[in-house]
């Protein structure tokens, strides 16, 4: 937990819209640290709401988004990025003046463009993105320690009330996250390199292995080394969430994939022509990058994937 973790509630009532991995982790983390007096929740499907009630996820699970946000001083949109705009439109009439709306979407420019037009006068919008997650989804996948010692990027647009930003920062720090601020377009490019393109590459690699069914049925599973296992973990991530990420961060992802393909072709050529110097120089450079990350103490390896509220 961060040393600057506040004592006592940061918000009176927090509403979580969309009750999956991130919302449930936020709920357990906020409750554990006493950061909100009451947390309400809403999810689109009756089945998810039922599960949430059964496991005690949220102090009150509501049957409409409007009911969940009524009286909330913080509303967090925890739905796939493709539906953020529609959800913002749905809740807008029920938002109380002075409230803050935030989101946890993996893409920022698209979410800002889709949500901002629906934010009423007197309501603050502070977009955010916790750089923490797992390949699991749904209300039962969350755990209180997910955000500990992980980054959360706040992406406020110019002119946003600094107090609204500072308050949201206190909430995330209270959940154990390290908080930074970033411009939306820069965020989307950085995430295209560090998260979106790598996910697509993992999806592709697992797809290729699956195409070789002869191998998949037996040897791939039996003999898979750590690298391929990591790919299969990432490729098990939620299809709806990732479809939306790629469709809404199109430009940056295509830019990075273009560069990736060029480098891949160069390596492919080096293998075909037997250019060992090229391969060796390339791998030496990438090894130095990894060592630099470790020396800088920035190796945020996968968190402990313990499940449930006590994790």
Ligand X SMILES: O=C(O)C(=O)Cc1ccc(O)cc1
Ligand Y SMILES: NC(=O)C1=CN([C@@H]2O[C@H](COP(=O)(O)OP(=O)(O)OC[C@H]3O[C@@H](n4cnc5c(N)ncnc54)[C@H](O)[C@@H]3O)[C@@H](O)[C@H]2O)C=CC1
Q: Which residues bind ligand X (CB under 6 A)?
A: 106, 131-135, 195, 234
The span from the CA of 299 to the CA of 294, in Å, is 5
User: Shortest distance, CB of residue 199 to ligand X, whole angstroms?
Assistant: 7
Among 40, 74, 80, 147, binds ligand Y (CB under 6 A): 80
Q: How far apart are the first and last CA of the chain?
A: 13
* CB nearer ligand Y, residue 100 or residue 128: 128
Contact 113, 251 (CB under 8 A): no
Token readout for 182 is 């970033």
* CB nearer ligand Y, residue 21 or residue 155: 21
Binding to ligand Y by CB under 6 A, coded x per residue (else -) over 243-262, reads: --x-----------------
Instruction: Tell me which residues in 157-216 interact with ligand Y (CB under 6 A).
Output: none
Among 40, 102, 128, 137, binds ligand Y (CB under 6 A): 137
Interaction of residue 81 with ligand Y, rule CB under 6 A: yes
∠ at Cα 186 (144, 21), nearest 5°?
20
Is 211 exposed, middle or buried (CB count within 10 Å of its CB: 0-12, 13-18, 19+)?
Answer: exposed
User: Shortest distance, CB of residue 213 to ligand Y, whole angstroms?
Assistant: 29
* CB nearer ligand Y, residue 113 or residue 270: 113
Taking CB within 5 to 8 Å according to partner kind, which of ligand X, ligand Y, none is near residue 17?
Answer: ligand Y
Instruction: Give the H or E element holding residue 133.
Output: none
Instruction: Give the H or E element holding residue 180.
Output: strand 178-181
Helix 250-273, helix 239-248: angle, nearest 10? 100
CA 103 → CA 15, 147, 220, 229, 299, distances in Å? Answer: 11, 15, 38, 31, 26
Taking CB within 5 to 8 Å according to partner kind, which of ligand Y, ligand X, none is near residue 94?
Answer: none
The span from the CA of 169 to the CA of 84, in Å, is 21
User: Shortest distance, CB of residue 301 to ligand X, whole angstroms?
Assistant: 10
Taking CB within 5 to 8 Å according to partner kind, which of ligand Y, ligand X, none is near residue 140?
Answer: none
Span interacting with ligand Y, options 133-141, 154-162, 254-262, 275-283, rule CB under 6 A = 133-141
Taking CB within 5 to 8 Å according to partner kind, which of ligand Y, ligand X, none is near residue 202?
Answer: none
Instruction: Tell me which residues in 17-76 interact with ligand Y (CB under 6 A).
Output: 17-23, 43-45, 48
Among 29, 35, 62, 105, binds ligand Y (CB under 6 A): 105
HSE-up of residue 15 (Cα within 13 Å, Cβ side): 27
Helix then strand then coil, in percent of the chain rounded to 5, is: 55, 15, 35
Taking CB within 5 to 8 Å according to partner kind, which of ligand Y, ligand X, none is near residue 234?
Answer: ligand X
User: Shortest distance, CB of residue 239 to ligand Y, whole angstroms?
Assistant: 10
User: Shortest distance, CB of residue 71 to ligand Y, whole angstroms?
Assistant: 19
Phi, psi for 308 (deg, rounded to 5):
90, 170
* CB nearer ligand Y, residue 108 or residue 169: 108
User: Shortest distance, CB of residue 267 to ligand X, whole angstroms?
Assistant: 24
Burial 51-83 (b: 16+ CB within 10 A, else e): bbeeeebbeebbeebeebbbebbbbbbbbbbbb
The span from the CA of 102 to the CA of 30, in Å, is 15
Interaction of residue 155 with ligand Y, rule CB under 6 A: no
State the residues that interact with ligand Y by CB under 6 A.
17-23, 43-45, 48, 78-81, 83, 87, 104-106, 130, 133-134, 137-138, 238, 241, 245
């Amino acid at each position: 937990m961060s040393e600057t973790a506040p004592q006592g509630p940061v918000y009176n009532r927090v509403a979580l819209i969309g009750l999956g991995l991130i919302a449930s982790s936020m709920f357990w983390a906020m409750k554990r640290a006493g950061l909100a007096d009451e947390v309400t929740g809403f999810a689109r499907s009756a089945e998810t709401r039922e599960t949430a009630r059964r496991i005690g996820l949220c102090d009150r699970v509501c049957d409409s988004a409007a009911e969940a946000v009524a009286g909330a001083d913080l509303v967090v949109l925890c739905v796939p990025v493709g539906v953020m705009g529609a959800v913002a439109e749905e809740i807008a009439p029920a938002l109380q003046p002075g409230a803050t709306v935030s989101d946890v979407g993996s893409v920022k420019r698209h979410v800002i463009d889709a949500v901002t037009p629906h934010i009423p006068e007197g309501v603050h919008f502070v977009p955010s993105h916790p750089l923490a997650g797992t390949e699991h989804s749904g209300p039962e996948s969350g755990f209180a320690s997910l955000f500990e010692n992980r980054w959360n990027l706040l992406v406020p647009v110019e002119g946003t009330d600094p107090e609204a930003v500072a308050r949201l920062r206190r909430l995330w720090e209270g959940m154990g996250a390290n908080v930074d601020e970033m411009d939306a377009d820069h965020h989307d490019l950085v995430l295209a390199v560090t998260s979106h393109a790598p996910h697509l590459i993992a999806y592709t690699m697992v797809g290729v292995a699956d195409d070789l069914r002869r191998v998949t049925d037996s040897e791939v599973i039996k003999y898979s080394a750590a690298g391929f296992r990591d790919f299969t973990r990432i490729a098990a991530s939620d299809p709806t969430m990732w479809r939306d990420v790629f469709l809404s961060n199109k430009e940056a992802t295509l830019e990075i994939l273009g560069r990736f393909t060029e480098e891949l072709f160069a390596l492919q050529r080096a293998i075909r022509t037997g250019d060992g110097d090229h391969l060796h120089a390339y791998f030496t450079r990438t090894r130095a990058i990894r060592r630099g990350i470790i020396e800088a103490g920035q190796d945020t390896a996968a968190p402990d994937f313990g499940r449930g509220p006590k994790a």
